[in-house]
Chains A and B, each alone.
Chain A
Amino acid sequence: MSAEDRTATAAAIAESVRNGKRLAQDVTTAALARARHVDEKEKLNVFLQRADKQAAEFAGRLGAPLERSAHHPLLGVPFAAKDNIAVTGLQVSCGSRILDGYVSPYTATVIDRLRDAGAVLIGKTNLDEFAMGSSTEFSAFGPTRNPIAPDRVPGGSSGGSAAAVAAGVVPIALGSETGGSVRQPAAFCGIVGVKPTYGRVSRHGLVAFGSSLDQIGVFATTVTDAAMTLRAIAGRDDLDATSADVPVPDYMMAEASSLEGIVVGRPAEYFPAELDARIAALCDRAFDRMRSLGAEVRDVTLPHTAMAIPVYYVVAPAEASSNLARFDGVRYGLRVAGDGLRGMYEATRSRGFGPEVTRRILLGTYVLSAGYYDAYYRKAMQVRTLIAGDFRRVFDSGVHVLFTPTTPTPAFPFGSRSDPYEMYLSDIFTCTANLAGIPAMSQPIGRVDGLPAGGQLMAAHFDEARMFSVASALERGLGAEAHA
């Protein structure tokens, strides 16, 4: 992209293409050139595959006058997608050797919907293998670097998509969330990341990890772009029986500059004494801004928050151990010869899966195995109900949104989280929303020693409109301070 495009929003690009000031082909060509640059020159390792040919052909079709209509809110806007989302004719590796070279024979609904809105897919981005990780260090194809601080991780598991937006390759990108894999990298890279309500977005074409938790999410540089993108992909899809038949409001109408009448909850459990004081101070500043815009800030409690990580790391690996059983060397992907059928299964899966995926499959199989199901899995699911109940009580009490830090620390250096559980704690403020199924988002609220910090908003089920409304007001209230 040109220097101008690197800071251009999706809304601005679409407007310039719609009114004929720019050609979609030119915007696409520039984005692809920028994608090559960040990987070949800056060595960020953002893309696992660029879609040069598909992107050029699609952008060429957008040049026809018939296509340049208001029905395409993202007309000519380049975007990237995490490489666990299927696109016909492109690989879907999930960052794993077991799917290395596998080309998808069908396209995910979210991709079709963004293309229907006029957006142009330019490539597939790096991720922790099968979306299991919080740093993108667990990709079989090498780690992605944080564009803001290349010696540090971009977060994960959707680190490639976050880096693509933060590096100015694309203004919007798709990721996926199971425990915070959009919001955490958004916070680490200084951009906006949204996890919709469970069921809000079709998962047809998303490679499953934890089916009761997974949701496709959105990265953008502004709240408006994130809202536009979610609006384009949300809604019932008959190809995904778990997608909800709930009307999708026009989130663009939710932009607000005043927060009069809004009650913002401050859950005590998300502000522990050991929280980085600098992040706590940035949150306090955000609360002050929201107060000055008319919001009431109310102290609340979510008493089962401390149980979220133990619950998550029982439920998610259990579901993963089941979902990843399909990668067995029979129908697609890697096959490694072994002694008989079982030997082939074991050789294929052992060679194909990396260390973190292996660890989680074993953990998940263990907690589901005879004698341990009740003690671990059933117990975790019951505590999950209590966690969801905490949120329900708070929202039923008149609180409209909750505001918290997105992560306990800014982006950490590569290799600094060698203990698995220490890495898991990166998700401590985010996985609760996945367990409860509520919408949540991260937005920039300032910097700590030059590193971005994110503030998290959470709302009641299907109340993304209110969440965007508050986020939009806070974005305006913070102004340039959000990146300072």
Chain B
Amino acid sequence: MDPGAKAAAAAVTVDDVRHVAMLARLGVSDERARALTRDLNAILEHMAVLARVDTTGIDETAAKADGGMRLRDESAPCVQLASKPEAFAPEMRHGFFIVPRLSSHEDVSA
């Protein structure tokens, strides 16, 4: 299917919202998932007009200002921090950020 037609035809389902929430690492309740499904469908309905624009041969990265931006040297300046990560990290030990263990192999493949 043409991508534009696909966008116009697509309707977000509750399962889509749950899948996307999983990708975004956001926990959403069933009730919230239903509300977000309505929201996303209402918003995406307005995006359907994009499918009607002829973009044949149009570059997708050409909207920026011309010139002026240059790559800096490999030796980027170092930002000095006024406090060590221990001052603001939720949990650190021996210079490492501590996180909970992966609870199962399912987590690895998710």
Interface residues of A (CB under 8 A from B): 88-89, 102-103, 105-106, 197-199, 204, 212, 238-239, 241-246, 304, 306-307, 309-311, 313-314, 321, 325, 328-335, 337-347, 349-350, 353, 358-359, 361-363, 365-366, 369, 371-372, 374-376, 378-388, 419-421, 424, 435-438, 461-462
Contacts and interface: CB of A to CB of B under 8 A. Distances in A.
A105 B83 CA distance: 5
A321 B24 contact: yes
A459 B71 CA distance: 26
Interface in B77-110: 77, 79-85, 87-91, 97, 99-104, 107, 110
A130 to B, nearest CB: 14
A375 B25 contact: no
Nearest to B79: A106
Contacts of A366: 12, 16, 20, 40, 44
Nearest to B85: A331
A362 B100 contact: no
Nearest to B77: A238
Contact of A245 (B42, B70, B85, B97): B70
Contact of B63 (A306, A374, A436): A436
B98 to A, nearest CB: 9
Given A238-B76, A385-B59, A106 B12 contact: no
A5 to B, nearest CB: 31
A358 B72 CA distance: 35
Interface residues of B, number: 68
A376 B41 CA distance: 13
A363 B20 CA distance: 9
B47 A344 contact: no
17 contacts: A103-B88, A105-B84, A212-B64, A309-B46, A314-B50, A342-B103, A358-B26, A363-B40, A363-B44, A378-B60, A382-B60, A383-B50, A384-B63, A385-B63, A419-B42, A438-B65, A461-B65
A448 B99 CA distance: 55
B39 interface: yes
Contact of B100 (A341, A371, A382): A341
B60 to A, nearest CB: 4
Contacts of B71: 241
Contact of B17 (A362, A385, A438): A362
A386 B52 CA distance: 13
Given A335-B90, A343-B103, 5 more contacts: A342-B107, A344-B100, A347-B27, A362-B17, A386-B55
Contacts of A103: 83, 87-88
Given A343-B103, A372-B7, A372-B10, A362 B49 contact: no
A375 B49 CA distance: 11
B7 A359 contact: no
Contacts of A419: 42
Nearest to B59: A385
A25 B70 CA distance: 41
Nearest to B57: A382
Contacts of A381: 60-61, 63
B68 A245 contact: yes
Contact of A376 (B7, B70, B77, B103): B7
Nearest to A315: B63
B10 A375 contact: yes
Contacts of B101: 340-341
B103 to A, nearest CB: 3
Given A341-B99, A349-B26, A239 B64 contact: no
A106 B77 CA distance: 14
B82 A330 contact: no
A306 B50 CA distance: 10
Contact of B51 (A335, A340, A375): A375
Nearest to A240: B72
Contact of B68 (A246, A363, A384): A246
A439 to B, nearest CB: 10
A281 B67 CA distance: 39
B47 A343 contact: no
Contact of A379 (B4, B59, B110): B4
A353 B21 CA distance: 13
A345 B10 contact: no
B66 interface: yes
A347 B12 CA distance: 24
Contacts of B62: 385, 388
A89 B81 CA distance: 11
Contacts of A314: 47, 50
Contacts of B59: 382, 385
A383 B88 contact: no
B17 to A, nearest CB: 7
